[in-house]
């Protein structure tokens, strides 16, 4: 039996009945439409109920001890990462120190390539010596591009050789969506990484080189008579924060890797692409705020609330 609907017959002024086609003819179109709607919907993420809005292009929250992923947004897509690149530079420098090739108290003077590097700086001067410890702080606090280029020369002899090692190491530790073009993160299409890869690198540093983690907790760094503040505004202000690295370019926006520890739980928050501002300080404040929201939620969830997805999906009555 066919269904019918009433439609006006404009020629006679009467209402006539139009027959609908059989269900077997229009049902496939309904099913196709429903499938398209489902495909366009964002995937549900178990365990993220109550997560506050995070104003960033992409992020990930990871347990540093287990590698468990707690929350994500666009976490596996590569993006520009600006000076977050220096985490790989630091990792290779830490490996070199650990091997005995370099020592923290060794003194050097800057090479010409470091002195000619633009952008953010630890303010190296010709002939002014620095120690390896100062070189590390020059990257972790003011994010000195000169310090990163100097580290590349000390570890590998040249920037090209160092960058090749950066990319080899990235593959070795599982950063499969990452490419590096330089040791400092200055803009280039080949400086890209996903939030997941950055979290993997951060976790690797925390696991393999815990002795170097105090370098990431400095609020300020003074060299050549100039004191530079840490753009990670959580450092020194939030007791559980242990680091770790900021970054900014026009292409990348404001980026921040923030690490924290509470009650023996260590979390890593990677925030990429916080909307940029002409006022760079305001941008880093906002990146720090997004990271703090993510970490606060993660600690509350990890420490105090069990993961009960079926309860989280239950609607209030």
Domains in the chain and their CATH numbers?
A: 52-304 (3.40.710.10)
Q: Is 177 assigned a catalytic role?
A: no
CA-based nearest residue to 298, from 103, 66, 143, 80: 66
Q: Is 245 assigned a catalytic role?
A: no
User: What digits encode the pLDDT tens for the residues 181-214?
Assistant: 999 999 999 899 999 999 999 999 999 999 999 9
| Residue 285 or residue 131, greater confidence | 131
Q: What confidence score (pLDDT) does residue 302 get?
A: 82
User: What digits encode the pLDDT tens for the residues 238-253?
Assistant: 999 999 999 999 999 9
CA dist 196 and 81 (Å) reads 12
Q: How far is CA 183 from CA 156, 179, 234, 286, in A?
A: 11, 11, 25, 26
Q: What confidence score (pLDDT) does residue 305 get?
A: 62
Burial class (CB in 10 A: 0-12, 13-18, 19+), 201: buried
CA-based nearest residue to 234, from 275, 186, 284: 284
> Rounded mean pLDDT of 57-79?
96
> Rounded mean pLDDT of 132-158?
98
Distance of CA 142 to the CA centre of its chain: 18
Q: Is 86 assigned a catalytic role?
A: yes
> Rounded mean pLDDT of 20-43?
41
Q: Which of 86, 121, 228, 276 is catalytic?
A: 86
Q: Which of 73, 83, 245, 246 is catalytic?
A: 83
In this predicted structure, the answer to whether residue 47 has a pLDDT above a threshold of 50 is: no
Q: Which of 73, 120, 121, 143 is catalytic?
A: 143
Task: For residue 207, give every residue at least 6 positions away whose Cβ sits within 8 Å of its Cβ, in sequence order, or none.
Answer: 64
> Rounded mean pLDDT of 216-224?
97
In this predicted structure, the answer to whether residue 317 has a pLDDT above a threshold of 80 is: no
């Amino acid at each position: 039996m066919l269904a019918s609907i009433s439609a006006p017959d404009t020629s006679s002024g009467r209402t006539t009945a139009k027959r609908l086609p059989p269900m077997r003819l229009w049902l496939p179109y309904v099913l196709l439409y429903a499938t398209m709607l489902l495909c366009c919907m964002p995937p549900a993420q178990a365990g993220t109920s109550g997560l506050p809005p995070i104003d960033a292009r992409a992020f990930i929250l990871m347990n540093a001890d287990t590698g468990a992923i707690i929350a994500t947004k666009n976490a596996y897509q590569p993006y520009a990462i600006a000076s977050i690149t220096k985490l790989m530079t630091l990792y290779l420098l830490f490996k070199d120190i650990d091997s005995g090739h370099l020592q923290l108290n060794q003194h050097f003077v800057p090479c010409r390539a470091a002195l000619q590097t633009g952008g953010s700086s630890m303010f190296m001067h010709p002939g002014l010596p620095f120690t390896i410890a100062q070189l590390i702080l020059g990257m972790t606090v003011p994010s000195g591009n000169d310090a990163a280029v100097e580290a590349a020369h000390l570890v590998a002899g040249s920037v090209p050789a160092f960058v090749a090692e950066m990319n080899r190491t990235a593959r070795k530790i599982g950063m499969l969506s990452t490419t590096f073009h330089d040791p400092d993160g200055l803009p280039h299409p080949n400086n890209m990484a996903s939030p997941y890869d950055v979290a993997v690198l951060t976790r690797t540093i925390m696991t393999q080189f815990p002795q170097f983690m105090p370098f990431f907790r400095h609020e300020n760094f003074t060299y050549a008579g100039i004191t530079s503040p840490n753009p990670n505004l959580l450092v020194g202000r939030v007791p559980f924060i242990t680091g770790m690295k900021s970054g900014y370019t026009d292409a990348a926006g404001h980026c921040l890797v923030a690490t924290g520890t509470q009650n023996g739980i260590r979390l890593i928050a990677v925030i990429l692409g916080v909307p940029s501002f002409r006022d760079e300080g305001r941008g880093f404040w906002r990146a720090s705020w997004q990271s703090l929201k993510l970490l606060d939620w993660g600690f509350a969830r990890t420490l105090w609330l069990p993961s009960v997805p079926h309860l989280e999906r239950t609607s209030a009555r």
